[in-house]
Amino acid sequence: MGKIKYHMLVCGGTGCHASASDEVLKNFQKLVLEQGLDSEVQVIKTGCFGFCEKGPIVKMLPDNTFYTQVKPEDCQEILNEHIVKGRKVKRLLYVNPETKEPITDSKHMEFYRKQIRIALRNCGFINPENIDEYIARDGYQALGKVLTEMTPEAVIGIMKQSGLRGRGGGGFPTGLKWEITRAVKADQKYVVCNADEGDPGAFMDRSVLEGDPHSVLEAMAINGYCTGADKGLIYIRAEYPLAVERLKIAMKQAREYGLLGKDIMGTGFNFDIEIRYGAGAFVCGEETALIHSMEGLRGEPTVKPPFPSESGYLGCPSNVNNVETYANVPAIINKGAEWFSSIGTERSKGTKVFALAGKINNVGLIEVPMGITLREVIFEIGGGIKNDKKFKAVQTGGPSGGMLTEKDLDTPIDYDNLIAAGSMMGSGGMIVMDEDDCMVSMAKFYLEFTVEESCGKCSPCRIGNKRLSEILEKITAGNGTIEDLDKLRNLSQVIKDTSLCGLGQTSPNPVLSSLNNFKDEYLEHVTNKKCRAGNCKSLMQYIINAENCIGCTLCARNCPVNAISGDRKQPHLIDQEKCIKCGACMEKCKFNAIFIN
Amino acid sequence: MEKIKTLADLKKKQDELRAKIDLREKGNTPEQHIQVKVAMATCGIASGAKEVMETFIEEFNKRNIDAVVTQTGCMGYCYAEPTVEITKPGQEPITFGYVDVKKASKLIDKYILNNELVDGIIPVNYQSIDKI
């Protein structure tokens, strides 16, 4: 005995963590020891597998068995059946939603088939708290190669040639940014990692940091070598405790190996990293606001130029890149610019990580090549719309993006196509909406978010967005007029043109794109006072059908605001002025006499 | 902890550590390696399949052969246990019956290394779902 036959990978991402994956892991470790299986089985905690919908995930290797929704009490059965008897535990296998057949092997899952994993290459594969596993998978090789065999110019050349563009939303060419930062002369420069991920429903950066923190550290050191900086700063929100913890462990281990610190690999190159915490303000994802927040000032943006590459943290040139952008760097150095640029479309190279959320079957994290269509993402990888409802729209780019509809489903996803379609790549959140979602309410939701998150420094954003949100409120309350639609459009344009930073310049996008794509829905709200999705409560009316009502008085007795009147054995009537639309009457009526208009 | 002082150090370290995750790497790309599936149901285990699996794992390790050994459920040939299915990259799987420890070594010498067939082949009367 003594040869490991199985690796059991237990997901330790935040999603699975929340559904007790930690106990699953501990239970496995305990049972394996108790039963003397520790010479045959290795239990490993990994980062996110992306299949958060069905967590906690346990993957068995080498046979790729994919167990979903594993509970701590299932551990014994998995060990007994899978490891000892060699039989898969059928009831825990992922079931193909179409054929209803259990899938024994993750290679056959539609979810993984179209994905290419570069930034997430180690997520769900290595133990993020163990630097050895990262090193075994080519970790820090890129840094070693760069430091010993390449000039900074050559590295920047590779980055430029690879075509990598900023994954935080802007899509600025990464190599070019590095070159600009390098060109500025200064005694002190900084490498900054923007981990202030704030879009509602987005968790790409968190997953990278939780699943593969070393890839970001390595890339920051590479950037330091290229730009001439010896200090790195990671700006991360304090709401990501697990990511922070793993980063700290990673930094400690890297220092112990001498991969961060002084004289790295005997090349004389010094580089170390510090963590800076954010308080979770959305605007601090904007690079100038982020830098001010790190300096201890209010998280408010300032006018660019000067760009951070010229004058950033403490007035020093600072190279700010996002987490996912950094995570791509070591792979590009190791495998070459040509390999990377062979993936993707003409102007958008490589892959993009998306967080699927909303009314979609496979909520989770995916990494797909640029140029894939929305249809493939939503219907093949995402498994389609929940409860077989009809697809209505998908919001990309978070509160700064726009809604894409049926007509955009076959557009290849890349930076330029999404902008042409009236949205943007953004950081990678994808919120899917179905026929039950009201587009006016969605626009209102995003506006409320930006109103909340606006720093208040410039008036267009502070006041303009507030007004937009008020107009939307008025429309959803059933008091809108046709003129309001024009006002929305004009005001949106002004805010876009005159706001100080990216937050304000993009905040009206959800309004504009929903107006463009769902004009008829807005019109229905203002002219017919109707919400087809049944979302806007003020536009709903509970009405009693006099033919079915037998006058049992049950509804009147249950109405909490006494809005229903009528004599016994006579049809009743709802006073619309008093009605609070709670639906209690409809629930109680035994004769289906109450309906929603 | 010992510091990594040069790129050569790092490469050496990687070579040492690679074995730790080797099983995972191969599991990720099983089609590129020789796959050996040992039937490990009650009948298989009773006839010594566990030892056979050990032998495969140890021999592959010793001789540095690039292969993945997995256990599977009952293949249905209980009369010929232990049974082993071997798939070489790009070739059809072949199932061998009556594989004891001695025959396991023979299979490695003859079939896996030299492509010579060994007696005890069970004619394929099933189709694996992978090909549908």
Which pLDDT score is estimated for A1?
Answer: 38
Q: What is the pTM of this model?
A: 0.87
Q: Between β-strands A190-195 and A231-237, what pairing exists: parallel, antiparallel or unpaired?
A: parallel
Distance of CA B100 to the CA centre of its chain: 14
Confidence band of B130 (pLDDT split at 50, 70, 90) = low
Q: B28 and A86 in contact by Cβ < 8 A?
A: no
pLDDT (0 to 100) of residue B126: 64
Taking CB atoms and an 8 Å limit, are B58 and A3 in contact across chains? yes
* Predicted confidence band of residue B131 (pLDDT cuts 50, 70, 90): very low
In the predicted structure, residue A496 carries a pLDDT above the cut 90: yes
Cβ–Cβ < 8 Å for A507, A491: no
Q: Name the β-bridge partners of B34.
A: B67
Predicted local distance difference test score (pLDDT) of residue B125: 63
**pLDDT of residue A2 exceeding 60:** no
- Per residue in A545-566, pLDDT (tens digit) is 989 999 999 999 999 999 999 9
Considering just the CA atoms, what is the radius of gyration of chain B in Å?
Answer: 17
- Mean pLDDT value across residues A137-152: 96
pLDDT at A386 over 80: yes
Q: How far is the C-alpha of A332 from the C-alpha of A504, rounded, in Å? A: 34
Which residues in A lie closer than 8 A to residue B10 (C-beta atoms)? Answer: 135, 140-141, 144, 265
Q: Which three-class secondary structure state does DSSP give residue B85?
A: strand
Contacts of A376 (CB under 8 A, 6+ apart): A114, A368
| ipTM of the complex, rounded to two decimals | 0.79
Q: What pLDDT, on a 0 to 100 scale, did the predictor assign at position A468?
A: 96
- Cα–Cα distance for residue pair A237/A123, rounded to 1 Å: 21
Task: Give B-chain residues touching A258 at CB under 8 angstroms.
Answer: 3-5
Report residue A168's pLDDT band, with 50, 70 and 90 as the boundaries: confident
Closest alpha carbon to A193 in A205, A185, A182: A205
Higher pLDDT, A247 or A583: A247
- Nearest chain A Cα distance for residue B120, angstroms: 23
pLDDT at A265: 94
Binning pLDDT at 50, 70 and 90, where does residue B19 land? confident
Instruction: Let me know the angle formed at the C-alpha of A162 by A156 and A165, rounded to the nearest 5 degrees.
Output: 90
Sequence letter at residue A464: G
pLDDT in the model for residue A62: 85
**Residue that wins the pLDDT comparison between A140 and A102:** A140
* Residue A199 confidence (pLDDT) above 90: no
Q: Which domains does chain A have, with CATH numbers?
A: 6-109 (3.40.30.10), 131-340 (3.40.50.11540), 351-434 (3.10.20.600), 439-528 (1.20.1440.230), 541-596 (3.30.70.20)
- Burial of A189: CB neighbours in 10 Å, binned 0-12, 13-18, 19+: buried
- Separation CA A397–CA A450 (nearest Å): 13
**Whole-angstrom Cα distance, residue A351 to residue A115?**
9
Confirm if A406 and A384 have CB atoms less than 8 A apart. Answer: no
For residue A122, give the nearest of A250, A224, A4, A257 by alpha carbon.
Answer: A250
Q: What is the dihedral of CA A96, A100, A104, A107, to 10 degrees?
A: -20
Crossing angle between the packed helical segments A482-498 and A465-476, to the nearest 10 degrees? 160
Q: Is A148 on the interface with B (CB under 8 A)?
A: yes
Interface mutation vs chain B, best among A82, A93, A132, most B CBs within 10 Å: A132
Residues A252-291: tens digit of each pLDDT: 999 999 999 999 999 999 999 999 999 989 999 999 999 9
Q: Give the closest-approach CA distance of A505 to chain B in angstroms.
A: 44
pLDDT of residue A95: 87
- Report the SS3 class of residue B28: helix
Question: Is A266 in CB contact (< 8 Å) with chain B?
Answer: yes
Q: What tokens does B127 get?
A: 């189709």
What's the pLDDT at B128? 59
Residues in chain B with CB shorter than 8 Å from the CB of A62 are 23-24, 26-27, 30, 68-70
Residues of B in contact with A148 (CB under 8 A): 6-7
Mutate which of B1, B4, B83 to test chain A, going by most A C-beta atoms within 10 A? B4
Q: Which residues contact A414 (CB under 8 A, 6 or more apart)?
A: A344, A345, A347, A348, A370, A371, A425
Contact B20 A5 (CB under 8 A): no
pLDDT in tens, A534-548: 888 888 888 899 899
User: What is the phi/psi pair of residue A346, to 5°?
Assistant: -60, -45
Are the beta carbons of B27 and A265 separated by less than 8 Å?
no
Sign of CA dihedral A479, A482, A488, A491: negative
pLDDT interval class at A577 (50, 70, 90)? confident
Beta carbons within 8 Å of B128's beta carbon, 6+ residues apart: B93
Mean pLDDT in residue range A48-77: 91
* Residue A166 C-alpha, separation from nearest chain B C-alpha, in angstroms: 29
Q: What is the mean pLDDT of residues A122-145?
A: 94
Contacts of A536 (CB under 8 A, 6+ apart): A438, A440, A441, A476, A477, A478, A525
What the block records as the tokens of A88 is 């898969």
Lowest mean pLDDT among A64-78, A394-408, A459-473, B26-40: B26-40
Does residue B79 register a pLDDT over 80? yes
DSSP 3-state of A164: coil
Nearest residue in chain B measured CA to CA from A258: B3
> Phi and psi at residue A79, in whole multiples of 5°?
-65, -50
Is B127's pLDDT higher than 90?
Answer: no
- The answer, yes or no, to whether residue A597 has pLDDT greater than 80, is no
Chain-chain contact of B30 with A265 (C-beta, under 8 angstroms): no
